Amino acid sequence: MTATDQDMPCPAQGLLKMLSGKWKPEIFRLAADAPVRFSGLLRQLKGSNKQSLSVALNELEASGLLEKVVLRQKPLHIAYYLTGKGAALVPVMQQLDQLS
């Protein structure tokens, strides 16, 4: 057993940690339907603010679930897309939705 295995004995704990936090589940669900932009998320997630949204997006990106893409338009736009890892979790999240 590695040190990482000892820290997180249940593999599901890693997944839950990636998706836990302010706005992460909502961001993930929205990104599962289509790429999302920061300004659009601010409008859609009532009660969110720039700082908490930025932190959540950065953490989802660091966990490998989202990819930040700079769209070469004028003015420049940034969009967030699900990665392959994120897309693989969509059915799991749908099942969790059905249970709740």
- If DSSP codes are grouped into helix, strand and coil, which group holds residue 90? helix
The 10 Å Cβ neighbour count of residue 79 is: 17
Full-model pTM? 0.83
Q: Tens digit of pLDDT per residue, the chain (100 long)?
A: 455 556 657 878 888 888 888 899 999 999 999 999 999 999 999 999 999 999 999 999 999 999 999 988 788 889 999 999 999 999 988 888 888 7
| Domains with residue ranges and CATH for the chain | 10-99 (1.10.10.10)
DSSP E strands, 40-90: 66-71, 77-82
Please, which residues have CB within 8 angstroms of residue 81's CB and are 6 or more apart in sequence? 31, 35, 66, 67, 69
Please, which residues have CB within 8 angstroms of residue 30's CB and are 6 or more apart in sequence? 36, 41, 44
